[in-house]
């Protein structure tokens, strides 16, 4: 058990029965300077309970606390208890665990028997897969991997935007101005042009809007021509999307998009009617959400056609029935916060208590330097272009720095695409950001290529060592500050993964593996590893092995590959 924080928490709670273990756990701090110990516990909050000064309380806790095998010493300063972990114990415990668990280090079984649906990416058919979709795609994919690593049975769903009034518009545009050959050659750009043109022409010819409503209605009613066109648009779009998913190495368990629910909505609408939560408003069916401080939700238009939220209601119910989920996670931009609040409220009004397990994981918006992206105005950056450019740039760099590298193509893909994903997962997901080519193609500093390079460096040392890793080594050889810094980063890794899951925040892992890589690079520069002294070499190789493992696992959880050489 290398979770010293939890162990310390247990010991403290034996001495402070007035606080729960959870309360104590969040109070334990990591001091800014290791000279002040590895963990600190503030006693200010206890002053009221014990009616005594914080320092005096700290003293009495320290006197009674059994240090066990892992605490070396306890110091008291400024109302804090400062704990110093026994160094050799730490070395042995951390490396012992990594050497034993290897690629399972940091994983757990806490999710066993629980189904977690992660819905992510969900682009819209006939529209570009643009830089705005990358966020849902890579955050979702990472969360999928993190939950899986913690033992959850995870289901990746792509809720394709393959239905709705825009298909009416597209059909009208195609019938007026479309060219089949052109669409085959360049599906998305041509369909996008048609969509843009529809909106331009509709400004002066409002009758087009009415025509498009009728075509969507036909689609919903199973009209052969409408369905044929829609199917074709869907197919050619999916081909393009799949090209990007292949580049990103992302797969889904299910592509049940919006159209999948077209025949499941009547039953849902019946359910709502039976619960008496729908009412008529200007010929349409709505759920009044004003009493809950939200705008009412339009469920069915006067002409009988359904809406985005109607399909989401059907989808949530279908997922509960199909997967009996423990959590149903939606990785969707923050523009849709209100939509998911409405969705959950309606499910609640329908008496479906599992609504509380539906979790919207929002993320900030991506804008371009010259303003927001606009599909209608054709102002978009295609994700595929970004990935291709990143790969090209990586090739140039490798050709310059390491021209004899084998498998150039493959490694350039791993590094270039890894760089884009890493950059996306570097900041808190809720932050908005402006896309710039410079930033996404920056490979210097705390980037994906830096972590990958560090991983390749550790791999190279292990290759050169030519000896296997020995589980028995002298831990007293690894207690210097520089080495301990590396080991502490490794020790925290399991907790970091859990934290990332709890907060649905992959950037916690991104930042942590940068720290581990930096600590390792200091270690690498200060200490020779392949030294004459067999004992020292053995001990240091164990550290290298552990670092390689953590970087490999960490990158994997972000959806990034870790090449052995680069």
- In 3D space, the residue among 257, 360, 233 whose CA is nearest the CA of residue 311 turns out to be 257
Give 161-225 as a DSSP string.
B--SHHHHHHHHHHHHH--HHHHHHSHHHHHHHHHHHHHHHHHH-THHHHHHHHHHHHHHTT-HH
CB of 155 to ligand ARG, least distance (A): 14
Cα–Cα distance measured from residue 42 to residue 24, given in angstroms and rounded to the nearest whole number: 10
CB of 159 to ligand ARG, least distance (A): 4
Q: Give catalytic status of residue 548 as yes or no.
A: no
Of 115-123, 482-490, 526-534, 551-559, the window that binds ligand ARG (rule: CB under 6 A) is: 115-123
CB of 264 to ligand ARG, least distance (A): 14
Of 56-64, 116-124, 139-147, 449-457, the window that binds ligand ARG (rule: CB under 6 A) is: 116-124
Pick the closer one to ligand ARG by CB: 50 or 435.
435
CB of 501 to ligand ARG, least distance (A): 21
Cα–Cα distance measured from residue 74 to residue 71, given in angstroms and rounded to the nearest whole number: 8
Pick the closer one to ligand ARG by CB: 258 or 505.
258
Is residue 256 near ligand ARG by the rule CB under 6 A? no
Site string for ligand ARG, 295-334 (x = CB under 6 A): -----------------x-----------------x-x--
**Beta strands across the sheet bearing 80-85:** 39-42, 80-85, 71-77
Contact criterion met (CB below 8 Å) for 40 and 82: yes
Of 103-111, 119-127, 181-189, 547-555, the window that binds ligand ARG (rule: CB under 6 A) is: 119-127
Active-site residue identified among 11, 87, 127, 320: 127
Pick the closer one to ligand ARG by CB: 187 or 563.
187
Contact criterion met (CB below 8 Å) for 280 and 288: no
Residue 517 is inside which H or E element, if any? helix 507-526
Q: What residues are paired with 281 via a beta bridge?
A: 284
- For residue 352, which phi and psi values (nearest 5 degrees)? -95, 95
Pick the closer one to ligand ARG by CB: 289 or 332.
332
Active-site residue identified among 6, 48, 102, 130: 130
Single out the residue of 61, 94, 105, 124 in contact with ligand ARG (rule: CB under 6 A): 124
Q: Which of residues 132-161 bind ligand ARG (CB under 6 A)?
A: 159, 161
- Beta-carbon count within 10 A of 402 CB: 12
Pick the closer one to ligand ARG by CB: 311 or 393.
311
CB of 382 to ligand ARG, least distance (A): 15
Cα–Cα distance measured from residue 512 to residue 486, given in angstroms and rounded to the nearest whole number: 11
CB of 141 to ligand ARG, least distance (A): 15
Give 379-417 as a DSSP string.
B--BHHHHHHHHHHHHHHHHHHH-TT-TTHHHHHHHHHH
CB of 331 to ligand ARG, least distance (A): 8
Contact criterion met (CB below 8 Å) for 77 and 41: no
CB of 522 to ligand ARG, least distance (A): 43
Is residue 126 near ligand ARG by the rule CB under 6 A? no
Largest separation between any pair of C-alpha atoms in the chain: 86
Contact criterion met (CB below 8 Å) for 222 and 259: no
CB of 180 to ligand ARG, least distance (A): 26
Q: Give catalytic status of residue 133 as yes or no.
A: yes
Site string for ligand ARG, 3-22 (x = CB under 6 A): --------------------
Please identify the residue of the shown chain whose CB is closest to the bound ligand ARG: 161
Q: Where do runs of H (alpha helix) occur along 221-367?
A: 224-248, 265-275, 308-323, 337-349
Rg (CA), the chain: 28
Cα–Cα distance measured from residue 479 to residue 494, given in angstroms and rounded to the nearest whole number: 21
- Beta-carbon count within 10 A of 337 CB: 12
Residue 545 is inside which H or E element, if any? helix 534-558
Cα–Cα distance measured from residue 432 to residue 135, given in angstroms and rounded to the nearest whole number: 11
Cα–Cα distance measured from residue 55 to residue 542, given in angstroms and rounded to the nearest whole number: 41
- Reading the block at residue 460, the tokens are 């190279």
Q: If you ran DSSP here, which 8-state letter would residue 364 be given?
A: P
Q: Where do runs of H (alpha helix) occur along 402-506?
A: 408-424, 437-440, 448-465, 481-502
Give the dihedral sign, CA 93/94/96/98: positive
Q: Give the pairing type, strands 80-85 and 71-77.
A: antiparallel
Active-site residue identified among 87, 133, 360, 537: 133
Is residue 122 near ligand ARG by the rule CB under 6 A? yes
Q: Which of residues 456-495 bind ligand ARG (CB under 6 A)?
A: none
CB of 24 to ligand ARG, least distance (A): 39
Pick the closer one to ligand ARG by CB: 97 or 119.
119
Q: Which residues bind ligand ARG (CB under 6 A)?
A: 119, 122-124, 159, 161, 312, 330, 332
Instruction: Give the residue numbers marked as catalytic.
Output: 127, 130, 133
């Amino acid at each position: 058990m290398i979770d010293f924080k939890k162990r310390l928490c247990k010991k403290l709670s034996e001495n402070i029965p007035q606080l729960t273990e959870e309360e104590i756990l969040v109070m334990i701090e990591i001091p800014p300077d290791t000279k002040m110990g590895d963990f600190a516990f503030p006693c200010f909050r206890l002053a009221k309970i014990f009616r005594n000064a914080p320092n005096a309380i700290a003293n009495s806790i320290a006197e009674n606390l059994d240090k066990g095998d892992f605490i070396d010493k306890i110091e008291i300063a400024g109302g804090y208890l400062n704990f110093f972990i026994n160094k050799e114990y730490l070395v042995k415990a951390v490396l012992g665990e990594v050497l034993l668990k290897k690629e399972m280090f940091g994983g757990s079984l806490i999710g066993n028997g629980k189904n977690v649906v992660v819905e992510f990416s969900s682009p819209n058919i006939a529209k570009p897969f643009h830089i705005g979709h990358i966020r849902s795609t890579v955050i979702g994919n990472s969360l999928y991997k993190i939950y899986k690593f913690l033992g959850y049975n995870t289901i990746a769903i792509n809720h394709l935007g393959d239905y709705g009034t825009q298909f009416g518009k597209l059909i009208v545009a195609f019938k007026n101005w479309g060219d089949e050959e052109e669409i085959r050659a360049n599906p998305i750009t041509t369909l996008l042009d048609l969509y843009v043109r529809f909106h331009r022409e509709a400004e002066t010819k409002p009758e087009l809007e009415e025509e498009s409503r009728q075509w969507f209605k036909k689609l919903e009613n199973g009209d052969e021509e409408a369905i044929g066109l829609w199917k074709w648009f869907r197919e050619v779009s999916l081909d393009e999307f799949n090209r990007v998913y292949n580049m990103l190495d992302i797969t889904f368990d299910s592509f049940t998009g919006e159209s999948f629910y077209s025949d499941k909505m009547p039953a849902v609408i019946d359910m709502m009617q039976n619960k008496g939560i729908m009412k008529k408003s200007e010929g349409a069916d709505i759920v009044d959400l004003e009493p809950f401080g939200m705008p009412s939700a339009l469920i069915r238009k006067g002409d009988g056609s359904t809406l985005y939220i109607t399909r989401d209601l059907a989808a949530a119910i279908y997922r509960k029935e199909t997967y009996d989920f423990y959590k149903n996670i939606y990785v969707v931009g923050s523009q849709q916060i209100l939509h998911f609040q409405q969705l959950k409220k309606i499910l609640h009004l329908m008496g479906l208590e599992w609504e509380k397990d539906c979790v919207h994981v929002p993320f900030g918006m991506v804008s371009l330097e010259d303003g927001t992206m606009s599909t209608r105005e054709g102002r978009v950056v295609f994700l595929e272009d970004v990935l291709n450019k990143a790969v090209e740039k990586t090739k140039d760099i490798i050709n310059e720095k390491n021209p004899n590298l084998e498998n150039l193509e493959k490694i350039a893909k791993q590094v270039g695409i890894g760089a884009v994903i890493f950059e996306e997962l570097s900041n808190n997901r809720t932050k908005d950001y402006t896309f710039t080519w410079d930033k996404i193609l920056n490979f210097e500093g705390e980037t994906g290529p830096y972590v990958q390079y560090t991983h390749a460096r550790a791999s190279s040392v292990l290759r050169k060592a030519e000896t296997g890793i020995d589980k028995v080594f002298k831990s007293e050889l690894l207690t210097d500050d520089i080495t301990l810094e590396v080991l502490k980063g490794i020790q925290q890794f399991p907790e970091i993964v859990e934290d990332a899951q709890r907060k649905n925040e992959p950037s916690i892992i991104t930042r942590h593996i940068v720290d581990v890589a930096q600590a390792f690079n200091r270690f690498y520069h200060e200490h020779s590893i392949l030294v004459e002294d067999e004992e020292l070499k053995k001990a240091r190789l164990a550290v290298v092995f552990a670092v390689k493992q953590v970087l490999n696992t960490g990158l994997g959880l972000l959806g990034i590959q870790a090449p052995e050489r680069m």
